[in-house]
Amino acid sequence: MVKAKEYTCIGCPIGCPLQLVHKGSKITEISGYECDRGAKYAKQEFTDPRRGLSTTVEVAGARWKRLPVKVTGPVEKGRILEAARKIHELHVEAPVKLGQVLLKDLMGQKGIDVVACRSIERSG
């Protein structure tokens, strides 16, 4: 059966309204885009939508209570909340260095790590 999905392109501020027509898992037509980024984005969103993720974790012994962290690769869109919950279980102690790996292979995904986005000193 032929079905259609709608997306808004995030490639630039125009935000082209995209339409993707598909038969099961086969894409038959993509329309509405003004440049190639739109077509690529719609295809990615249809086949394997992923998102970057940054959040904070608890840090003890530092100027602030929270330490900003990010994942080093995009996470499946449907598992973002699960990923955030997993990351929020982390507790770290200052000092921390920028780029320090706090958790390896998030949710069993090889090479997707959680790293610190800043250094933070130990403070009295």
Partner 1 sequence: MLGRMESTYDVVVVGGGPAGMGAALGARDSGADRILILDREGEAGGILWQCIHSGFGLHYFREELTGPEYAQRFLEKVIDHDVDLATNSYVSGISVDSDGTKRVRVMNEQQGLVSINTKSVVLSMGCRERTRGSIRIPGTRPSGILTAGLAQKLVNLKGYLPGRRVAILGSGDIGLIMARRLILEGCEVVGVFEIMPYSNGLARNVVQCLDDFDIPLHLSTTVAYIHGRDRVEKITVAPVDKNFRPVMRRARDIKCDTVLLSIGLIPENELSLSLGIQMDVITGGPRVSSTLETSMPGVFASGNVLHVHDLVDFVTRESMLAGQFAGEWAQGVRRPEDNIRLLPGDNVRYCIPHTLSPEREHTIYMRCKAAMKPCRIRVGNLMEKKLRFVVPAEMIIFKIKPDLLDKFHGDSLRIDILPATKGKRHGKG
Exactly one of 23, 28, 29, 63 binds partner 1 (CB under 8 A); that residue is 63
Stretch that binds partner 1, among 10-18, 22-30, 102-110 (CB under 8 A): 10-18
Exactly one of 3, 23, 77, 122 binds partner 1 (CB under 8 A); that residue is 77
Q: Examine residue 15 and tell whether it contacts partner 1 (CB under 8 A).
A: yes
Q: Examine residue 93 and tell whether it contacts partner 1 (CB under 8 A).
A: no
In this structure, which long-range contacts are made by residues 33-39, counting pairs with CB atoms below 8 Å and at least 24 apart in sequence? 33/9, 35/11, 37/9, 37/11, 37/12, 38/9, 38/11
Contact assessment for residue 102 and residue 114, using Cβ atoms and an 8 Å cutoff: yes
CA–CA distance from 65 to each of 43, 46, 53, 56, 120 (Å)?
41, 39, 20, 10, 11
CA dist 33 and 109 (Å) reads 33
Stretch that binds partner 1, among 21-29, 57-65, 100-108 (CB under 8 A): 57-65
Report the relative pairing of strands 101-103 and 66-71 from DSSP bridges: unpaired
* Nearest distance from C-beta of residue 4 to partner 1, angstroms: 17
Exactly one of 3, 23, 91, 118 binds partner 1 (CB under 8 A); that residue is 118
Residue ranges binding partner 1 (CB under 8 A): 7-10, 13-15, 34, 51-52, 54-56, 58, 63-66, 68, 70, 77, 80-81, 84, 88, 98, 117-119
